[in-house]
C-alpha cells in the first residue's frame, strides 16, 4: 500500500533487547559519585525507610561523608574505557548484537546514571522497536535490583501514548544454561591458578535480613545457585554475603568475616568468586579482590585469588545469547 505523500515517515518494525544493570557514576571523582549515590540511595526499593526519616540522614550525613571514600575505591578499579560495570555491559551488548538477525536491535542501559533506561527506550522506539525485551542482568531476583530496573522502564512507558509490547527476562538463578556457564568459567579460572584452594567462596551481594522475612526470594535464589553449582562441580562451596551498609541485620554469613575465619581455621589458600554479578564492578574488583585479599592475608591467609565474573567471556556470552533467544521466541519467528 502506498502512503500519502504527506504521511510521517514510519521506520521498519523492529524488536528491541535492552540489557539493564545497576549503574555507575560518570567518573571516579567525588562530585560524580555523590550524584550517583544520591540517586541510588533515594530509590525506595533500595532503602525501604520512609523518605521523611531517611532523606535528612542521606542528605545531611551520608552524602557528605561516603562519596569521598567511594570515589577513592572507584579510582582503584576505573578503566581507560570507563567504569568496569558500564564498560563490560557495553561489551556484552556488542557481543550479542548480531545474534538475532537484522530485525533485532540490542542496546544497554543503567538503572542509575547513564545511559538511562528511559533514554535508551526512547531511542529504541524511534528506531521502530514495537516489541521490547527488558533484560535485567541479575541471575537472582531481588526487589532492589530486578524490580527497580523494570520499574524504571514501566514508569517511562506509563507516559507514552503509543506503548511497545513488552517482555521481561526472568531470573535465571537455577537455569542449566547459567549453572553450566558458571561451571565452565570457574573450572577454567581454577585450572589457571598456581595453587589448589582449600576453600572456594561464593560471595553474593548482601541484603537486609528483613527483606527475606518480607517475602523477597533473593536469599533462596542465591542458596539454590550455590547448591546446583556445587553439585555440578563436585566440590563444596562456601556461601557468604558482602556489601553490608548501615546498622540493621543483614543476610549472613558476611564475606569479610568468612575470609578471616577461613584463614584462622588453617584454610590458607582461598579462591573467591561472585556468581550474582553478571559483570565485574566496584563490589568485586575493589571490595573482594583488593579488600578481601587484605583481610584474608592479615588473618594469616597465604594464597588468595579473585575469579572474574562471566563478563563478556565466551561462556557468559553464549549463555546470554541462548537466554535472550528463548525469550524472543514467537517474536523473531512471526509468520
pLDDT at 334: 47
Residue matched to cell numbers 544497554: 108
Q: In what order do the strands lie in the sheet with 199-205?
A: 238-242, 199-205, 269-273, 303-307
Cis check: omega of the bond before 253, within 30 degrees of 0: yes
277: which 3 cell numbers?
A: 554479578
Measured from the Cβ of residue 58, the count of other Cβ atoms closer than 10 Å reads 18
CB within 8 Å of 1: residues ≥ 6 apart: none
> What per-residue confidence (pLDDT) applies to 246?
73
The grid cell for 168 is: 521481561
- What φ, ψ does residue 165 adopt, rounded to 5°? -70, 150
Please give the pLDDT value at position 333: 66
Report residues of the chain scoring pLDDT below 70: 1-3, 6-9, 333-335
pLDDT given at position 1: 60
**167 C-beta neighbours (distance < 10 Å), count:** 16
What would the grid cell of residue 167 be? 517482555
Amino acid at each position: 500500500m502506498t502512503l500519502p505523500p504527506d504521511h510521517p515517515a514510519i521506520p521498519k518494525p523492529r524488536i528491541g533487547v535492552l540489557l539493564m544493570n545497576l549503574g555507575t557514576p560518570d567518573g571516579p571523582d567525588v562530585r560524580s559519585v555523590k550524584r550517583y549515590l544520591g540517586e541510588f540511595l533515594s530509590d525506595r526499593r533500595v532503602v525501604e525507610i520512609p523518605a521523611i526519616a531517611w532523606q535528612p540522614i542521606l542528605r545531611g550525613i551520608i552524602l557528605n561523608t561516603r562519596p569521598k571514600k567511594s570515589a577513592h575505591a572507584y579510582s582503584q578499579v576505573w578503566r581507560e574505557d570507563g567504569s568496569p560495570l558500564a564498560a563490560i555491559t557495553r561489551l556484552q551488548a556488542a557481543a550479542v548484537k548480531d545474534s538475532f538477525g537484522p530485525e533485532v536491535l540490542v542496546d544497554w542501559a543503567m538503572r542509575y546514571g547513564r545511559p538511562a533506561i528511559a533514554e535508551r527506550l526512547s531511542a529504541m522506539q524511534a528506531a521502530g522497536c514495537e516489541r521490547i525485551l527488558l533484560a535485567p542482568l541479575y541471575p537472582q531476583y531481588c526487589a532492589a535490583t530486578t524490580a527497580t530496573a523494570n520499574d524504571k522502564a514501566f514508569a517511562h512507558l506509563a507516559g507514552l501514548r503509543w506503548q511497545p509490547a513488552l517482555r521481561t527476562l526472568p531470573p535465571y538463578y537455577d537455569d542449566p544454561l547459567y549453572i553450566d556457564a558458571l561451571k565452565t568459567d570457574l573450572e577454567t579460572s581454577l585450572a589457571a591458578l598456581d595453587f589448589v584452594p582449600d576453600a572456594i567462596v561464593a560471595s553474593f551481594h548482601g541484603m537486609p535480613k528483613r527483606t527475606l522475612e518480607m517475602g523477597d526470594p533473593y536469599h533462596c535464589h542465591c542458596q539454590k545457585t550455590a547448591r546446583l553449582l556445587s553439585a555440578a562441580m563436585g566440590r563444596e562451596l562456601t556461601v557468604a554475603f558482602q556489601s553490608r551498609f548501615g546498622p540493621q541485620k543483614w543476610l549472613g554469613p558476611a564475606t569479610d568475616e568468612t575470609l578471616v575465619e577461613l584463614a584462622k581455621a588453617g584454610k590458607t589458600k582461598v579462591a573467591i568468586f561472585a556468581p550474582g554479578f553478571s559483570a565485574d564492578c566496584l563490589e568485586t574488583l575493589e571490595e573482594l579482590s583488593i579488600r578481601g585479599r587484605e583481610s584474608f592475608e592479615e588473618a594469616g591467609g597465604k594464597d588468595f585469588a579473585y575469579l572474574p565474573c562471566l563478563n563478556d567471556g565466551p561462556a557468559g556470552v553464549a549463555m546470554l545469547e541462548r537466554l535472550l533467544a528463548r525469550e524472543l521466541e514467537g517474536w523473531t519467528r512471526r509468520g
